Amino acid sequence: MGEEKQFVAFMLGNEEYAVEILAVQEIIRWSKITRVPKAPNYVKGVINLRGTVIPVIDSHIRFNLLEQVVTDTTRVIVFKNEDTVIGLTVDLVTEVLSLNLDNIENPQTTRGVENQFINGIGKVNERLLIILDLTKVLQIGNSILGK
Amino acid sequence: MDMSQYQDLFFEESEEHLQILNQNLLALEINPERLELLDSIFRAAHTLKGMSATMGFDSIAKLTHEMENLLDQLRERKLALSEGIINSLFKAADLLENMLESLRAGETIEIDLVKLAAEVFNSNNENLQVDGDEVRKSNNSSKKKVDASNFDNGNEFNEYERHLLTEAFKKGLNVWKITIQIEETCVMKGVRAFMVFRNLEAIGDVIKSTPPVQDIEDEKFENEFMVYLVSDKMENEVKNELISISEIIMMEIKMIILGQENSKEKENIEVKKEHPDEADSFISTQQEKKQKVHQTVRVDITRLDKLMSLVGELVINKTRLEQINTDCQIVSLNDTVEQINRITADLQTVVQNVRMVAIEQVFNRFPRMVRDLAKELGKEVNLILEGKETELDRTVIDEISDPLVHLIRNSLDHGLESPEERIAIKKNPEGQLKLQAKQEGNQVIIIVEDDGKGIDVETIKRKAIENNLIAQTQVDTLEEQSIINLIFEPGFSTANKVTDLSGRGVGLDVVRSKINSLSGQVYVETKNGKGTRFVIKLPLTLAIIQALMVRVQEELFAIPLANIDETTSLEMSQIKDVQGQQVVVLRGKVLPLFFLRDILSVPGEEKEESMYVVVVRKGEQQIGIVVDELVGQQETVINTLGKVLSGMTGIAGATILGDGSVSLIIDIGTLF
């Protein structure tokens, strides 16, 4: 058996996604977001995270999904990598789970989320999880600068 | 021992010493007869040597050692000061700077750098040889006289020490040469040596020691050292003073006798009369230095940043408390909130002051730079520095240096004429470059001013058209000042030939964007033939600013108070259209209007009948920003939007409001 890693699983629309837990700083509730004029459309805005201002990315727009509807279950997953902190909106956080790396397959074709962000497809019993590539997810921010 | 923890300290201190070195070299170049400057230079080089040797940076130690040798010869007048030597010393200082920089960057010093060092000093030695010969020829008589003096090891003394000796003999005092040997097993050699000095100084004056006192105190000696003592005591008494100190295994006391006093020696003394005072002042400055060390503490800048951000958070929470207070109207809470208000304000001032650094740090680099540039360009420049003591936030200080360098280079290269040209137009052949800093309210103003040829409007027009900055048809409609302001546009460069200094197309636009990024402004005033003056306005601090909160639809924005001239209310009917530009007439002046709602594409359609205009200043120009409501003045802590959103135009950062929500701070400089 191969190595096991922990993942945070969440829903975007009807699909279930997962990211490695190591990159997640925290998960926070939806709060008032301040719009940033002239920013790319997928930048939802900025929020106050205990005294620090962090940008929040609208994952629905970024991943070319249907428009997001904010509900009670909407959360912001805060990613941290060195000095970059960035938030990503999700519709529902399902659970934290362990996944054997043997159970992750390379993506062939996936609908919805652009291929570039995908690391593989994880299988847990009957569920299929789309595993997002951590570095790519964190680079979402950098790609803003690139444009 | 692991030295890495001392590295930062080492680099900071070496920078200071390098600065001293450069400053004094400059002063020496202007006043070659001020030999006391050599002492300061020597001391700086010596300290650098000691520090770098301790840190294990041998290449620096070697270079400074060579410098010391040279300086020593200058001090003892074995060598006359010449331009060649000064230039070599400057070169050595540059080399040191390079070495320190590469060491700081974690690189090991490459071999060719070390080789370069050797080259500097080889050429030096040639100079040294030539100059040395000259000295020998011209001062032949005095040379002989020195050799003729009958001191024991007369060559070991420099002139000053020799002077002290002669004085001692005149007064009938004894001079003892005492050699002390300390047990090899002794753990604290420095302490024993110190006791020797203390005991000896109780009965006389120690005029010299080998190795130097500092080295002995630092235990930089084998087991033996030597001191020269001037005292009225006899051999036995001297011995008694020393015998009580333990762990000394041997001492040898010899009397030094002065031979024939010759008349030429006296001459020598007269020439050097000022030296005793100098010795006093040397001692007193050393003491001052020691005292100062106790009065200041070096703090890592990141700690100050942390402190500042904590104060920032405190201010945010204070605002929140004030909010609650106005909502609840409790008398006892009101008192407390007022107290907290005062304390936070004081705390903020204190922390801000701690972060303040005199602009001297930046200015001090310029005399050297101007000297080098002037030589390179064949121009004569008198650099005047004013207001060096003006203080700015540390972050601003770090950033302002480059733009200033740029402006100074510009003045030297494009502004000031060559001496010949200046004479031809009846100006003083020596051009004047004035650098001035002063504080005005919450702002610091830096002025770079030259009395050169000024900016030629016609040339600017031509260049601007050539570079497609404006169309031919536009030229005539523009005011003169607007044309001059084109020099700040990207891609504008008037230099006819590309020099090492400027004319590479990266020009004043870089200066302007840098200063804008510091929430500052820059403008230029010029008179053809008379000179040019660049004025830079900077906020005192970047961390916490006063801002006016304004509302547009449902969104709140902060406009820095420093940018605002005034505010006024406005009726829709007052707005007029002039060639597609909305304007309002304010006290007889036409003010162009911009709706913040449009510029920042704020959602929501309805336009209100009455609104407010915030009159802001952008460079020379006044602009009216139309908003729905003025909410009030507030202290705002500037947060960056983070790396991800950096470089957004029109937004200087974000601030957290009393209710915890985030509001954006408008950057007037890049808003339009």
- Classify strands B224-231 and B621-627 as parallel, antiparallel or unpaired: unpaired
What's the pLDDT score for residue B482? 78
The residues, any chain, with a CB within 8 Å of residue A128's CB and separated by 6 or more, are A16, A121, A122
The pLDDT tens digits for B162-178 are 777 777 777 777 788 88
DSSP A10: E
CB distance A53–B662 less than 8 Å? Answer: yes
Of B316, B639, B664, the CB nearest to A36: B664
Give the distance from residue A147's alpha carbon to the nearest chain B alpha carbon, in angstroms.
Answer: 11
Rg, C-alpha atoms of chain B? 33
CB distance B32 to B85 below 8 Å: no
DSSP B412: I
The pLDDT tens digits for B387-444 are 988 888 887 888 888 889 888 888 888 888 888 888 888 888 888 999 999 887 667 8
| Chain B residues close to A56, C-beta within 8 Å | none
CB distance A144–B645 less than 8 Å? Answer: yes
- Classify strands A118-124 and B174-182 as parallel, antiparallel or unpaired: unpaired
Q: Which residues pair with B586 in a beta bridge?
A: B589
Per-residue pLDDT band for B284 (boundaries 50, 70, 90) equals very low
What's the pLDDT score for residue B237? 78
> Cα separation of A79 and A19, whole Å?
10
Q: List C-alpha distances in Å: B447 to B274, B380, B451, B513, B525.
A: 40, 20, 13, 17, 11
Give the distance from residue B639's alpha carbon to the nearest chain A alpha carbon, in angstroms.
Answer: 7
Residue A2 contacts B, CB cutoff 8 Å = no
| Chain A residues close to B640, C-beta within 8 Å | 53
A contact residues 32-71, partner B, Cβ 8 Å cutoff: 32, 34-39, 43, 46-48, 51-55
Residue B508: is its pLDDT beyond 70?
yes
CB distance A53–B651 less than 8 Å? Answer: no
What's the pLDDT score for residue B135? 38
Closest-approach residue (CA) in chain A for B660: A48
Sign of CA dihedral B104, B108, B109, B110: negative
CB distance B645–A36 less than 8 Å? Answer: yes
Q: How many CB atoms lie within 10 A of CB B618?
A: 15
Residue B262: is its pLDDT beyond 90?
no
CB distance B646–A145 less than 8 Å? Answer: yes
Q: Which residues pair with A78 in a beta bridge?
A: A26, A87
CB distance A53–B656 less than 8 Å? Answer: yes
The pLDDT tens digits for B295-320 are 677 778 788 888 887 888 788 788 88
> Cα separation of B586 and B574, whole Å?
10
User: Lowest-pLDDT range, A89-98, B36-45, B218-227?
Assistant: B218-227
- As to burial, measured by CB atoms within 10 angstroms (0-12 exposed, 13-18 middle, 19+ buried), residue B577 is exposed
Closest-approach residue (CA) in chain A for B637: A51
CB distance B187 to B223 below 8 Å: no
Give the distance from residue A33's alpha carbon to the nearest chain B alpha carbon, in angstroms.
Answer: 8
A-B contacts at Cβ under 8 angstroms: 77
CB distance B644–A51 less than 8 Å? Answer: no
Of A35, A55, A83, the CB nearest to B645: A55
The interface pTM score, or ipTM, of the predicted complex is 0.83
Strand, helix or coil for residue B557:
strand
B contact residues 511-570, partner A, Cβ 8 Å cutoff: 555
- Token readout for B72 is 């020593």
3-state helix, strand, coil in chain A (%, to 5): 20, 50, 35
| Chain A residues close to B647, C-beta within 8 Å | 145
| Chain B residues close to A34, C-beta within 8 Å | 555, 654, 661-664
CATH of the domain spanning B544-671, picked from 1.20.120.530, 3.40.1280.10, 1.10.150.300, 2.40.50.180: 2.40.50.180
User: Lowest-pLDDT range, A37-51, A64-78, B188-202?
Assistant: B188-202
> Cα separation of B475 and B473, whole Å?
6
Residue B636 contacts A, CB cutoff 8 Å = no
Sign of CA dihedral B372, B378, B380, B385: negative
Strand, helix or coil for residue A27:
strand
Residue B658: is its pLDDT beyond 70?
yes
Q: Which domains, and CATH codes, for chain A?
A: 4-146 (2.40.50.180)
Fold annotation for B148-283: Alpha-Beta Plaits (3.30.70)
What's the pLDDT score for residue B142? 38
- Token readout for B614 is 């915030």
Among B651, B662, B671, most A C-beta atoms within 10 A, so best to mutate, is: B662
CA-based nearest residue to B366, from B347, B377, B346, B381: B381
> Cα separation of B309 and B509, whole Å?
31
> Cα separation of B219 and B221, whole Å?
6
| Chain A residues close to B309, C-beta within 8 Å | 51
Torsion angle, alpha carbons of A41, A42, A48, A52, to 10: -100
CB distance B636 to B664 below 8 Å: no
The pLDDT tens digits for B617-631 are 876 788 999 999 899
Per-residue pLDDT band for B23 (boundaries 50, 70, 90) equals confident
Strand, helix or coil for residue B321:
helix
Report the catalytic residues of B.
46, 68, 410
CA-based nearest residue to B540, from B448, B652, B437: B437
| Chain A residues close to B555, C-beta within 8 Å | 34-35
- Token readout for B278 is 């100098």
CB distance A145–B660 less than 8 Å? Answer: no
Strand, helix or coil for residue B167:
helix
Q: Which residues pair with A89 in a beta bridge?
A: A76
CB distance B531 to B450 below 8 Å: yes
Rg, C-alpha atoms of chain A? 15
* Tokens 């000042």 -> residue: B481
| Chain A residues close to B599, C-beta within 8 Å | 37
The CATH superfamily holding the domain B4-138 is: HPT domain (1.20.120.160)
Per-residue pLDDT band for B664 (boundaries 50, 70, 90) equals very high
Residue B664 contacts A, CB cutoff 8 Å = yes
CB distance A53–B654 less than 8 Å? Answer: yes
> Cα separation of B211 and B176, whole Å?
16
| Chain B residues close to A143, C-beta within 8 Å | none
Averaged over B21-33, what is the pLDDT?
83
Q: Which residues pair with A96 in a beta bridge?
A: A8
| Chain B residues close to A145, C-beta within 8 Å | 643-644, 646-647
Q: How many CB atoms lie within 10 A of CB B162?
A: 22
DSSP B329-397: --HHHHHHHHHHHHHHHHHHHHHHHHTEEETHHHHTTHHHHHHHHHHHHT--EEEEEE-TT-EEEHHHH
Sign of CA dihedral B453, B458, B460, B463: negative
Per-residue pLDDT band for B123 (boundaries 50, 70, 90) equals low
> Cα separation of B398 and A82, whole Å?
24
Residue B134: is its pLDDT beyond 60?
no
Residue B605's identity, in one-letter code, is E
> Cα separation of B652 and B516, whole Å?
10
Domain residue spans of chain B: 4-138, 148-283, 301-355, 358-539, 544-671
Among A25, A28, A30, A34, most B C-beta atoms within 10 A, so best to mutate, is: A34
CB distance B642–A144 less than 8 Å? Answer: no
The pLDDT tens digits for B357-391 are 888 888 988 888 888 888 888 888 899 999 988 88
CB distance A37–B656 less than 8 Å? Answer: no
The pLDDT tens digits for B538-590 are 877 666 788 999 998 888 999 988 888 999 998 888 888 888 888 998 888 88
* Tokens 């204070």 -> residue: B318
Of B313, B648, B661, the CB nearest to A34: B661
Of B599, B648, B660, the CB nearest to A39: B648
The residues, any chain, with a CB within 8 Å of residue B133's CB and separated by 6 or more, are none
Residue B670 contacts A, CB cutoff 8 Å = no
Fold annotation for B358-539: Heat Shock Protein 90 (3.30.565)
Of A34, A37, A85, the CB nearest to B642: A85
What's the pLDDT score for residue B437? 92
CB distance A39–B645 less than 8 Å? Answer: yes
Task: Give the rounded percent of residues in chain B with a pLDDT score beyond 90.
Answer: 6
H or E, element range at B560: strand B555-560
Start-to-end CA distance of chain B, whole Å, equals 58
The b-or-e profile of B595-606 (16+ CB within 10 A means b, else e) is bbbebbebeeee
CB distance B641–A46 less than 8 Å? Answer: yes
The residues, any chain, with a CB within 8 Å of residue B42's CB and separated by 6 or more, are B68, B71, B72, B75
Task: Give the rounded percent of residues in chain B with a pLDDT score beyond 70.
Answer: 81
CATH says B301-355 is which class?
Answer: mainly alpha
CB distance B308 to A43 below 8 Å: no
What's the pLDDT score for residue A147? 35
The b-or-e profile of B482-519 (16+ CB within 10 A means b, else e) is ebbbbbbeeebbbbeeeeebbbeeebbbebbebbbbbb
* Tokens 């002989």 -> residue: B144
3-state helix, strand, coil in chain B (%, to 5): 50, 25, 25
